[in-house]
Every structure is written in structure tokens, then in C-alpha cells.
Amino acid sequence: MNLLQVERARRWVGLGLLVGVVGTTAWTLSPGVPVLWAPQASEPAKQSGLALFNRDWQSPADKAQAADATAEELRLAKLKVGPVFNASSCVACHFDAGVGGAGPNTVNVTSFTILPTTANPHVQEGTVHRFALSDNTQETVDLVRRLYSKPVQVAGNQSLTPQQRQDSNPVRVTAVNTPALFGAGWIDRIPSKAITHRYFAVGMKEVAANLSGDFKQTVPMGRYRILSDGRVGKFGWKAQFATLEEFVGAACANELGLSNPKMQRAKPLAGAKDESAVAAPEKTASLSRKEFGVMVAFVDTLPRPIEAVSRDSATRAAVKHGREVFSSVGCAVCHQPDLGGVKGVYSDFLLHRLREKVAASGYYEPPPMPLPEEHPDLDEWKTPPLWGVADSAPYMHDGSAATLEGAIEDHLGDAKSVTQAYKRLPGDDQAALIAFLKSLKAPPSAIPAPQAESHALASVTTP
Ligand code: HEC
Ligand code: HEC
């Protein structure tokens, strides 16, 4: 190589580096590639997935008696789910407005959190399953308290310090309501970068406003959830899963007790050491890779919710005005209308606190030993997407609000200033806002859910 060639080579390397640095910086600062295509799956895959979603795993006996039952059906008919589970089909909970919809409070799931204690600084979480195959393995809230509480003794008439109180009873229990799964595949495709990019963009705006002397109280920013492996959480009320596939795996394992390629079936809390408590694998059902694949494909391609256009011109006008009020009053700060190329999802996928952090209010007492930074606090919940909200009552993570108005009233904490602004609105504006929310409907193409009786839990013994 002569000098000229070396010089040229250096230039190319330099240019390459520059392009690399500029490119990386631009990519880092960009909101990622927006979602361009609808989730896809073949028709047979969707049909098989639907059958698995609707399948009642606890009462396949009728099929066993049917004359035309195949050997495979007979084998399946003998299998049970469990050893612990919350229902015997997915559709037993996800059925409002069609297969994959939201669920009523009667099928709420009971979750527990074990707060850090002096003896065990790790947070533990789990589900108190409603049903068990045997009495030995039946779980109850009382059982969780017995397993995890260690009474702390103090001398004489001394009272417990907050830490001792937490040590002696670290168990917190909450009900979680079933959300609708319509459009889940779209949410799955929203790039994490769209969430973090928007978060930082909002932060920069705030800094700029502060620098220009504008310190008016705005809505606290919340935070995105970083999972233990560094990914951004999107699914679940606590943004506890990054992908739809993983959530479906967890739902199979945890709600139904179905092992699958992503997760082993839930083990009973009670008698976990007792061999007989864990159902023998050959007697319990599990999903093959193929079955799990079609189950995911079905949920992934559930149609997305719609914004209904009323035939009545007065309603149309109210909805249009309500959409403006939604933005102007501040709902859209958290319920971001479009994200990552997905229009009308109405969420920032960030964790926020909607409860007052005042112990005296009786609402929420901050734990003396706080949860680790990466773990959402007890009062932090992900902003739920509002698409389809007209058809997903009751509202809030625990289903505590029966109506849309009630849900808005429950927005304190981070959303307090917005709720106060909503309350100051003239009645017409409030009504328009509600009319807008009522236009956010489940997809009309949703498949009607099987009759409630056919997926009722009557066949299972209740605790
Ligand atoms: C006992 C009722 C119940 C059953 C049965 C059930 N689910 Fe759920 N589902 C819930 C609840 C409650 C949540 C919210 C859980 C949370 O966020 O902690 C949920 C959340 C989900 C989510 C996450 C939705 C989101 O946007 O965050 C998916 C996906 C899901 N379920 C799929 C399934 C599948 C697939 C099945 C069947 C294998 C199933 N569920 C069975 C109650 C149920
Ligand atoms: C600070 C962020 C924030 C603001 C501002 C906000 N929300 Fe929310 N919203 C949330 C969070 C977080 C939840 C879930 C809280 C929970 O489950 O405890 C929620 C829940 C809801 C729900 C219940 C949805 C469901 O599926 O259960 C509705 C309806 C709702 N918000 C509407 C509104 C409206 C209307 C406004 C404006 C008046 C508004 N929100 C302002 C964060 C916000």
C-alpha cells in the first residue's frame, strides 16, 4: 500500500465511524420503527387457537362418552388441569363483548405480594388460586398469611415499630380484574423505544418549561417498567411482561395450571413438599409447542377495538368535542392516544400512582422497608389502554369502579390535578368526555362467547 492508499483507507474508516456514530445516536434518540402491519396468522391456526382458548379443561367427559371420539380425544378427556387453578378455560374470564373480552369481578384473580422483611429482603409475588384438585393443596389468603407471617415479640407494653409490623405481617393481597385482550397483538408490536422515547421527550419538555420559568404543577411523569432482564414491560396491570407470548404462557400455567413451552404449571403453595400434592404429569394436561403456538396466534390476532361513529349527529358532535376535552383537561398526558404507530390505544404504558400517599387517608401506607427500585410499589399501576373501554366494565386494576365516571373519580395521586380540572368542567363538557369514552368499543367482529353455563365452574368443587 502506498501513502495515498493508506490516506484513502483512513478516510473510509473515518467516514464509516462517523456514519456509525451518527446512525447509532439517531437510532438511540428515535422512537423506533412504528407498527406498520396488522398481526397475521393462518385461518386454521386461528381456529385451533380459538378452540383451545374456549376449551373447558375440567369437563371433557362428554367427549369421552361420545361415540365418535378419537383416541386423542379420549386421552385428553382423562387429563385434568391443576393441581391449582383459577378457572377451567380462558374464556371463563375473558368473555365480555366476545371471546377474549374483559371479565366481571366474580372472576377476579387474587394476587399477593410479600413485602421485604428484615429476615428476607426479597419481594415475592404469587396468586392465591381459587381451586385445587385436592383439599391438601387448596390455597387461601389465610394460608399465605400463615406461611409468610412471623409474629414479632416485643417486651412488655411496647408497641411494634413500623418495621416490626411489616416483619410480622408482610403479606399484601389485592384483587385483579380481567382486562380485554382485543388488539393485544398490536400492543405486542409497539416498540419499547416508542415508550421510552416518549417518556424522555415529555421529560425534556418539562425541563424546557422549567428553564423558561414555568413551574406550574404538571402531572408527575410516572416511570416505565424495566424487567429484570432489561426489557420494558407492557402487559399486565403492573407491566410485568414484555411480550404477549410470555403473558399467554404465564396465563396457561397460572390461571389454568397448563404447562407449556414457556412456563411450568403453577405449584400449590400448600404441601409443596408433599409429593402427592403435585399432580402426576401423565395425569395433567399440558400444551405442546404447536398447541401453544396456535393459542398465542389466536390472542395475537384478536381484532382491535374500534371508535364507533354514531348515526345520531348530536352524539357524533358530543364524541368529537369529548375527544378534545380528553386532551385539553389532561387525560391524554397518560392515556396517550397514539403510540409507536398504533392509533387510538390511549396509554403511555407507564406506571403511575393514583392514590394519595398519605397513611392517614387509610388508603396507602408506604412500607418502612421500601420495595427494590426495579419493583413497582404497591400503589403503582400501568396506565391501561382505553381502547374498547366502553365494553370492559368494571374498571381499575381491582374492578373497584363500576362506571366510567367512578373510574375518573378514583384518579387521585399523579392524576389529581387532572381530576380536579375535570370536576370544574361544565356539565356539558363532562358529558361529552363520557360520550367519547363510550365510543371506544370492543371490535364488532369479536367472536360471541359460548354460553356462560358451558364455561361455568360448577363442575369444580369450590373451597
Ligand atoms: C381466572 C380468570 C382468568 C383466566 C381463566 C384467564 N385470565 Fe387472562 N387475565 C386475567 C386477569 C385478572 C388478568 C390481569 C392480570 C394482571 O395484570 O396481573 C389477565 C391478563 C391477561 C393477559 C394480559 C393482557 C394485557 O393487556 O395486559 C393476557 C394476554 C391473558 N390474560 C391471556 C389469557 C389466556 C390466553 C388465558 C387462558 C390460558 C387466560 N388469560 C385465562 C384473568 C384470567
Ligand atoms: C397520571 C396519569 C393518568 C391521568 C392523567 C389519567 N389517567 Fe386514567 N388511568 C391511569 C392509571 C394508572 C389507571 C389504572 C389505575 C388502577 O388500575 O388503579 C387509569 C385508569 C383509567 C380508567 C379505567 C380503565 C380500565 O380499563 O379499567 C379510565 C376509564 C380512565 N383511566 C380514564 C381517564 C380519564 C377520562 C382521564 C382524564 C379525566 C384520565 N383517565 C386521566 C392513569 C391516568
pLDDT, tens digit, for every residue of 231-286?
999 999 999 999 999 999 999 999 999 999 999 999 898 765 555 545 565 567 88
pLDDT digits (tens, 9 = 90+) for 195-244: 999 999 988 988 888 888 877 657 899 999 999 999 999 999 999 999 99
Residue 50: pLDDT above 70?
A: yes
330-369 pLDDT per residue, tens: 999 999 999 999 999 999 999 999 987 655 444 455 667 7
Specify whether 144 is located in the same domain as 216. Answer: no
Residue owning the nearest CA to atom 34 of ligand 2? 331
Q: Are 419 and 409 in contact (CB under 8 A)?
A: yes
Pairing relationship of beta strands 109-114 and 124-128 according to DSSP bridges: antiparallel
Are 417 and 370 found together in one domain?
A: yes
In a domain, 37, yes or no: no
Determine, yes or no, domain membership for 448. Answer: no
Residue 462 lies in a domain: no
* CA-nearest residue, atom 41 of ligand 1: 90
Q: What are phi and psi of 172, to 5 degrees?
A: -120, 135
User: What residues are paired with 263 via a beta bridge?
Assistant: 260
Per the structure block, which three cell numbers stand in for 456? 361455568
Dist CA 370 CA 354 (whole Å): 18
The number of the ligand 2 atom at minimal distance from the alpha carbon of 419 is 38
Q: Which domain holds residue 99?
A: 47-151+158-180+240-303
Q: What is the pLDDT of residue 64?
A: 55
- Atom 32, ligand 1: residue with shortest CA distance: 248
Classify residue 385 by its DSSP letter: P
Does ligand 2 have an atom closer than 6 angstroms to the CB of 56?
Answer: no
d(CA 383, ligand 2 centre) in Å: 6
Looking at the domain assignment, is residue 232 inside a domain?
Answer: no
Q: Do 218 and 291 fall into the same domain? A: no
Smallest-distance ligand from the CA of 403: 2
Give 68 or 95, the one with higher predicted confidence: 95
Domain boundary among 303, 319, 337: 303
Ligand 2 atom closest to the Cα of residue 219 is 1
Number of structural domains (the chain) is: 2
In a domain, 453, yes or no: no
Rounded to the nearest whole angstrom, what is the distance from the C-alpha of residue 251 to the centroid of ligand 1? 6
Distances (CA, A) of 97 to 338, 390, 438, 441: 24, 10, 14, 9
The verdict on 262 and 310 lying in the same domain is no
- Substitution candidate for ligand 1 out of 93, 110, 254 with most atoms within 8 A of CB: 93
Q: Is residue 462 scored above 50 in pLDDT?
A: no
Mean predicted lDDT score pLDDT of the chain: 88
Per the CB < 8 A criterion, the answer to whether 325 and 429 are in contact is yes
Q: What is the mean pLDDT of residues 162-166?
A: 84
pLDDT in tens, 391-447: 999 999 999 999 999 999 999 999 999 999 999 999 999 999 999 999 999 999 999
Nearest atom in ligand 1 to 237's CA: 17
Q: 393 and 415 share a domain? A: yes
Do 200 and 262 lie in a common domain? no
Q: Is the same domain home to 92 and 110?
A: yes
Last residue of a domain, one of 272, 303, 334: 303
Residues 266 and 360 in one domain: no
Is the residue at 33 inside a domain? no
Q: Ligand 2: which residue has its CA nearest to atom 32?
A: 408
What pLDDT does residue 164 have? 85
pLDDT at 169 over 70: yes
Q: Is the preceding omega at residue 394 within 30 degrees of 0, hence cis?
A: yes
Residue 398 lies in a domain: yes
Please compute, for residue 248, the number of CA atoms within 13 A of its CA located in the half-sphere on the CB side: 25
Confidence of residue 458 (pLDDT cuts 50, 70, 90): very low
425 CA distance to ligand 2 centroid (A)? 18
Contacts of 292 (CB under 8 A, 6+ apart): 248, 249, 252, 260, 261, 262
Q: Are residues 247 and 396 in the same domain?
A: no
- Inside any domain, residue 139: yes
- Same domain? 405 vs 285: no
Q: Can you tell me whether residue 164 is helix, strand or coil?
A: helix
State if residue 440 touches ligand 2 by the CB under 6 angstroms criterion. no
* 305 CA from centroid of ligand 1 (Å): 17
| CATH number of the structural domain spanning residue 310 | 1.10.760
63 and 176 fall within a common domain: yes
Q: How far is the CA of 408 from the centre of ligand 2 (A)?
A: 7
Q: Which residues line ligand 1 at a C-beta cut-off of 6 Å?
A: 86-87, 90, 92-94, 107, 109, 176-179, 181, 184, 235-237, 244, 247-248, 251-252, 255-256, 299
The three cell numbers of residue 262 are: 414457556
> Going by C-beta distance under 8 Å and a sequence separation of 6 or more, which residues neighbour residue 106?
none
Asked if residue 118 and residue 163 are part of one domain, the reply reads: yes
pLDDT of residue 226: 96
List, in sequence order, the alpha helices (H) in 212-278: 244-251
**What's the grid cell of residue 425?**
368542567
Q: How far is the CA of 239 from the centre of ligand 2 (A)?
A: 15
Q: Which residue has 407470548 as its cell numbers?
A: 245
